[in-house]
A and B are shown apart, each in its own frame.
Chain A
Amino acid sequence: MKGTHLGELEELVLLMVGILYPEAYGVAVMDELEKQAGRSLNISAVHAVLTRLEEKGLLQSKMSEPTDARGGRRKRIFLLTAAGKRSLEETNELRNQLFNRIPRVALQFRMA
């Protein structure tokens, strides 16, 4: 396995799945990415990321109940696993720690 390292897009998608709980499926994730992060992706790319994350064990999925929409086809609903949750926490923590270690002076700039 390629390790638990999360790519930037993977991290975003993981976050979106969390936000959309319990209604996270392909199209919803794609829309949310556009809305929250301004990232416009093709649906097939979203599917690819979702399946990859599932393979890594960060997501799990189940099929929804069929509705009249989508020609009666079911959706695949994605949920965070414990490992997914931990992975999100770890990245978040790491990022905060590192951000806090930036010298204050470096962040104080003026437009010259």
Chain B
Amino acid sequence: MKTKPPKWADRFLEWYCRPDRLEEIQGDAYELFDRTVNTSKLKADLYFTWNVIRFFRWRNIRRTIKHHYSNQLSVAMLKNYFKTGWRNLMRKKAFSMINIFGLAIGLTCFLLIASFVYDELSYDQYAAGYKNIYRVGLQLEQNGGVDDYPHVDVAVGAGIKNDYPEVVAFTRATGNTMDYLRHGDVNVKEESLTLADSNFLRVFSIPLLEGNADHALTDPNSIVISSAFAKKYFGEKPALGELLVSRRYGAMKVTGIFDKIPDKSHFHYDALISMSTNARITTGRQTWSNVGFHTYLLLDEHADPNRLEGKLSALIEKYVVPEIQEDMGISAADAQRSVNTWKFYLMPLSRIHLYSHTKYEIEANGDINNVYIFGALAVFILLLACINFMNLSTASAARRGTEIGIRKTLGSFRSQLVTQFLVESMILAMIALAFAVIFALVLLPFFNQLTGKQIEISFFLSAPVLTSLVALGLTVGLLAGTYPAIFLSSFQTLRVLKSNSPGGARRSNLRSILVVFQFAISTALIVATIVAYQQLHFLQNIEMGYDTEQVVVVENAGALGVNIDAFKRKLEQDHRVSHVSHATVPIGNAGSYAGTEVSSKSPNPSGTHMHIFMVDYDFVETMGLQLVLGRNLSNEFPNDSLGLNVVINETAMKHLGWDESNVLGSTIIRSAQLQYQVVGVVKDFHYTSAKEKIAPLMMLYRRVAPTFLVKVKTSAVHDFIADVKSQWAAFHADVPFSYYFLDERFSHLYKAEQTTEQIFVVFMMIAIVIACLGLYGLSTHAAEQRTREIGIRKVLGSSVEQIVLLQSKEFLLLVLVAIVVAAPFSWWAMHQWLQNFGYRISIDASVILLAGAAAMLIALITVSFQAVRAAMANPVRSLRSE
């Protein structure tokens, strides 16, 4: 084969050169190239390029030609475009379906994720003045870390408002508060109550269905409730003016009813109780140095929140320092030093949901990173679908060769052809979009379940969304249609008419790259899914160090009061129970509790943060923990009963710098007044999610512990629960019986990982389906192109296997490249993900091999489907027509 000059330089020349000069100039350049190429290819390339650059002169540059006839889009032509476009679609129904379906899947994904992102971004915007509402938070350094509180002390709101005139109003709420409410027979534990200032409803623009929003929360013992709440206690009877009896505050009068707090809010209180109900808050000492009140400021429209935030440090000098000085009885300088790291800060209301990640939020917030990740995924999948579309359109070019040739012969400009193909791709995109909207609406409930959102169908039917949908369709059509349009319209008239093949069948580098790209993503997602599954499996089957099965946890035992021991004895007497223990157990709670600071008593003390469990003597046995050293706590030792002796875990032993030889009898110092002796060491056990490393722990005896752990030995657990419940009632506890199973609580801890895995699975499926659709389309097309070749091969004696192999080889090679590309990347990404876990699996090569094999198999099935069909066809049929 003759050597050719560098393609891009040649293309550049063809692009800029005026057509009437192109032939001679290109000819001369080629001649010079051919002459030099015998000595050195590189030299010839450089020489050619240099010449092309030198030819780039005004004299040689293409001018825009003014045509004397209309080049404008005319209605007649547009009609023709639609007609031919439609006929083309109909002629190859399967091919068009693949094209449309692929795009529709991509668009569906995009729509759903876009609605998720939009939903996340539009939190806390229901209040009329939300742009001017800020929450006051407190940051301070202690115990070697930064503590960030989303709430401040009782006096802060009023103090800021008094000192700075740009603050129009402040309002406070106490966050989710638990209480028991009763009306008649209904006695329920309520978790989402709050005390709120009288202007709370107005600041947040929460309308009341009944009652007066301005005064509803003014009087003591007023309560404003949601309609669902009203229904729960009062049924269909009018609730306004009725009484609800609270365990803490006594009788309260219902003064207002609101529908519900909007879904997109960072709090979802079921009922608001007037702040004045708690007299200690309104009339007690107004302090600054504590936390607990979610305080919101309504600023003047023209106020600058940054400047206000800067001024807040003055308040620390003015109020906090004197208060600490007085409370602690220390000098002003010492007080000053202790608040050095304190900082009041303002968080815009609408940013709370995505940007506030303190440990003490009212509810679990969203995360801006998720929004970014999902957004990227949405765009990615849409891109994959567009790539498919481009691939399939260019591959089908061969069929359009004659049409393009004839159009060109009859005087079409290139721009007209481009328009024609763009119109076609937009038709396809709009059809795909219509399907996508239908799919999205059908899938919405599942999507809501997956994401825990409440996006409604009406969201998709609102005018702005519909408009942007149309815009999206047109954009996608343009995006996916541009390359095919330019590619198709560039065919040379004579060549396509003569051979009926514009060269669309020849291997296009771009197309290969796109296939590689698609399969690389699919493979990476398969790897991600496998790793996520393995990790989750690993976490759930990790050796916990004890038995979580058959343990029933009974909550709120404190409500039994003096009957606590009687209740325990009752349980112990039951033949179905093997052990009972009462303890404060953070077991199974993904606790935000960082531990208490302690240190060891030794010549060179080492400190650590320690989790403290308040347990009774039966705890170790009930949970089946293994003692490795020393003894369990027991009522035979007075110091055990006083809570001065402790049992620690192995991690605590290591963190405090002891080993097996010296740990027993050592002393742990909590403060000057509080010291503990170690009497026993238990083997490490996972008392919270295995995502976390096991932390240091000590257990000490304390009688007032609010939870019962009951180890049962029966399969009829539900009968047992019913019996316990009736016993509970027999003790006349004024709170309802509530319980859970320990192992269920543990599986809840991995909910986030389960969701991650599900999301991976969904995205993997979508990516694979899209990639396969693309590959299927391409292989169909390739088989079609080679019908004659296959016919001849068969006549000459090729076997079916040989022909299938011949056709599949090229695609499988691409997939192989994709796997090689995806392997290191996906390994790295999942390795990063695994760093989040305290205990994790290692990714071995078999995972990548498995994913690769899966991708290969999927590709093989897709390709061979067509290849086999082509290979089995009777050669007479394909050759007869010649």
Contacts and interface: CB of A to CB of B under 8 A. Distances in A.
B34 A69 contact: yes
A73 B24 contact: yes
B54 A44 contact: yes
For chain A, what secondary structure do more than half of its interface residues adopt (helix, strand, loop), or is it mixed? Answer: helix
B25 interface: yes
A68 to B, nearest CB: 10
Given A44-B51, A48-B57, A27 B23 contact: no
Given A42-B51, A44-B51, A69-B34, A74 B59 contact: no
B301 interface: no
A104 B59 CA distance: 47
Interface string A42-68: 111101100100000000000100000
B32 interface: yes
Contact of B27 (A42, A45, A51, A71): A71
Contacts of B27: 70-71, 73-75
A48 B59 contact: yes
B82 interface: no
B24 A74 contact: yes
Contact of B24 (A45, A71, A76): A76
Nearest to A73: B27
A79 to B, nearest CB: 15
B114 to A, nearest CB: 51
A73 B26 CA distance: 8
Nearest to B26: A73
Interface string B28-64: 1111101000000000000000110011010110000
Contacts of A63: 23-24
Contacts of A26: 24-25, 28
A44 B57 contact: yes
Nearest to B29: A43
Interface string A19-53: 00000011100000000000000111101100100
Nearest to A67: B27
Contacts of B51: 42-44
A47 B28 contact: yes
B23 A47 contact: no
Contacts of A42: 50-51, 54
A25 B59 CA distance: 18
Interface size range on A against B:
10 to 19
Nearest to A70: B27
Nearest to B52: A44
Interface in A58-112: 63, 69-71, 73-76
Contacts of A48: 57, 59
Contacts of A70: 27-28, 30-31, 34
Contacts of B59: 48, 51
A74 B25 CA distance: 10
Which among A27, A45, A51 has the greatest number of chain B C-beta atoms within 10 A? A27
A12 to B, nearest CB: 18
A47 B57 CA distance: 11
Contact of B31 (A51, A69, A76): A69
A74 B28 contact: no
Contact of B25 (A45, A47, A69, A71): A47
Given A47-B25, A71-B27, A27 B54 contact: no
Interface in B423-480: none
Given A43-B54, A44-B57, A75 B24 contact: yes
Which among B23, B25, B27, B55 has the greatest number of chain A C-beta atoms within 10 A? B27
A97 to B, nearest CB: 36
B57 A43 contact: no
Interface in B51-107: 51, 54-55, 57, 59-60
A58 to B, nearest CB: 17
A74 to B, nearest CB: 6
A91 to B, nearest CB: 25
A23 to B, nearest CB: 13
A51 B59 CA distance: 9
A49 to B, nearest CB: 11
A46 to B, nearest CB: 9
B34 A27 contact: no
A75 B59 CA distance: 18
Contacts of B50: 42
A51 B20 CA distance: 13
B64 to A, nearest CB: 20
Which among A44, A45, A47, A71 has the greatest number of chain B C-beta atoms within 10 A? A44
Nearest to B2: A71
B869 to A, nearest CB: 41
B37 to A, nearest CB: 13
Interface string B8-29: 0000000000000001111111
B11 to A, nearest CB: 14
A43 B24 contact: no
Nearest to B55: A44
Interface string B659-675: 00000000000000000
Contacts of A71: 26-27, 30
Nearest to A42: B54
Contacts of B34: 69-70
Nearest to B4: A71
A48 B56 CA distance: 11
A47 B17 CA distance: 13
B18 to A, nearest CB: 12
Given A26-B25, A45-B54, A69-B31, 15 more contacts: A26-B24, A27-B32, A42-B50, A42-B51, A43-B28, A43-B54, A47-B24, A47-B60, A51-B59, A70-B30, A71-B30, A73-B26, A75-B24, A75-B27, A76-B24
6 smallest CB-CB distances across A and B, nearest first, come from A73-B27, A44-B54, A70-B27, A76-B24, A26-B28, A44-B55
11 contacts: A26-B28, A44-B54, A45-B54, A47-B28, A48-B59, A51-B59, A70-B27, A70-B28, A73-B23, A75-B24, A75-B27
Interface of B: 23-32, 34, 50-51, 54-55, 57, 59-60
